[in-house]
Amino acid sequence: MQKVIVILGQTAAGKSDLAVKIAKKINGEIISADSRQVYKNLNIGSGKITKKEMEGVPHHLLDVANPKIKFTVVKYQKLAISAMADIVKRGKTPIICGGTGFYIDAVTKGIIFPEVPPNIKLRKQLVTKSAITLFLTLKKLDPQRAKTIDAKNKVRLIRAVEIAKALGKVPKETEARLPFNFIKIGLYLPTAKLKNKIEKRLLTRIKMGMLNEAKKLHKQGLSWKRMEELGLEYRFMALYLQNKINKKEMLEKLNSEIHKYAKRQKTWFKRDKEITWFDASKLKTYVIINVL
RNA sequence: GCGUCGGUGGUAGAGUGGUCAAUUACAACAGACUGUAAAUCUGUCGCCUUCGGGCUACGAAGGUUCGAAUCCUUCCCGACGCA
């Protein structure tokens, strides 16, 4: 079975570097698994790899979407699968690299999503309702799904109602493993080191002109509201540029929010027992190569 | 030295006689995750617990009271004002 290497882990763990090194050693091509790097012009703030850092290794699924329009897991899944097929056809090894756990699972576990595309009109209407109302609506439509859903999470409730309205009920979660042998490599840093790296990286990004990037995005028509929605760097830069917070608050908030995000990533990946973990601060590339 | 205001859990900051282990926010920790996933949401957060409850706590020591973080006295510390 065709081998596909997956490099995952928390933000700032050093995944991109490792992916490039491995790609060069084994004649691979990289498929990014990052829900923000898919967008064009979200470069510094999303930590997108630069042309130079790619060292000639082809990267896929970067800059494939317009930031004004919401990208989705399903789009990612489709694009990633065809990228994998394409890479394999050319006799190379795909290397999936990124920190968006949901995207990675969509591909590696072959999650089958209900074929109900987002219904913007319906969502607009549902957003105005309270969580309790949404929950009761769902319960009427699909008592089974209501049993396990997080009754306080409006985003989840809205999607469930959306599916239930279209299909009558929410189909049972199913997976269909793709004919690939996914080898999952997890990269982690001890908490203190991670925190330190996040702080340093943030200052570097500011120096690199991250704020100008945000200003430019807004000039190009990206609304503040949408920018806030993009989270982390973009969210707090948007707040700062609107004078809703000052620079100090922006930096402080960002550090703690990025740290929280890293925690969420850790929680997500913890469930996946197929991952082999390595301490990024002690890692030698050849160790990984041997594992592969 | 005199006077005023204040000292509350990791931090900020409510509470001014019982319903207070103490609102809330932040931090911290744990978790969820079916087309927004850097999003969205949940739980724990003095100590012990057989999860019923038990114990110690609101600067310190005394006191008043059936009962005090809350009132009184003294002391310690801080800010400000007057000397």
DSSP A72-109: -HHHHHHHHHHHHHHHHHTT-EEEEEES-HHHHHHHHT
Find, among A11, A14, A30, the residue nearest to A279 by Cα.
A14
* Angle between helix A191-207 and A210-219 (nearest 10): 60
**Residue in the block written with tokens 């913007």:** A120
Spanning CA of A38 to C1' of B52, the rounded length in angstroms is: 54
pLDDT of residue A177: 86
Range of lowest pLDDT (A84-88, A101-105, A165-169, A198-202): A165-169
Spanning CA of A208 to C1' of B75, the rounded length in angstroms is: 58
A67 pLDDT more than 90: yes
Report residue A102's pLDDT band, with 50, 70 and 90 as the boundaries: very high
A171 pLDDT more than 90: no
**Residue in the block written with tokens 């996914």:** A182
Report residue A218's pLDDT band, with 50, 70 and 90 as the boundaries: very high
Report residue A291's pLDDT band, with 50, 70 and 90 as the boundaries: low
Annotated binding site of A for ATP: 9-16
Annotated binding site of A: 9-16
Mean pLDDT of A259-283: 90
Nucleotides of B under 7 A from a protein CB: 26-42
CB A47 within 7 Å, strand B: yes
Spanning CA of A244 to C1' of B70, the rounded length in angstroms is: 39
Spanning CA of A150 to C1' of B52, the rounded length in angstroms is: 29
Q: Residue A245: left (phi > 0), alpha (psi -120 to 50), or beta?
A: beta
Task: Identify the residues numbered 237 to 256 in chain A whose C-beta atom is closer than 7 Å to any atom of strand B.
Answer: 256
Question: Which residue is closest, via its CA, to the C1' of B40?
Answer: A155
Distance CA A228, CA A232 (A): 8
A259 pLDDT more than 80: yes
Interface pTM (ipTM) of the complex?
0.90
pLDDT digits (tens, 9 = 90+) for A238-254: 999 998 888 888 888 89
pLDDT digits (tens, 9 = 90+) for A18-61: 999 999 989 999 999 999 999 999 999 999 999 999 999 999 99
A234 pLDDT more than 70: yes
CB A235 within 7 Å, strand B: yes
CB A274 within 7 Å, strand B: no
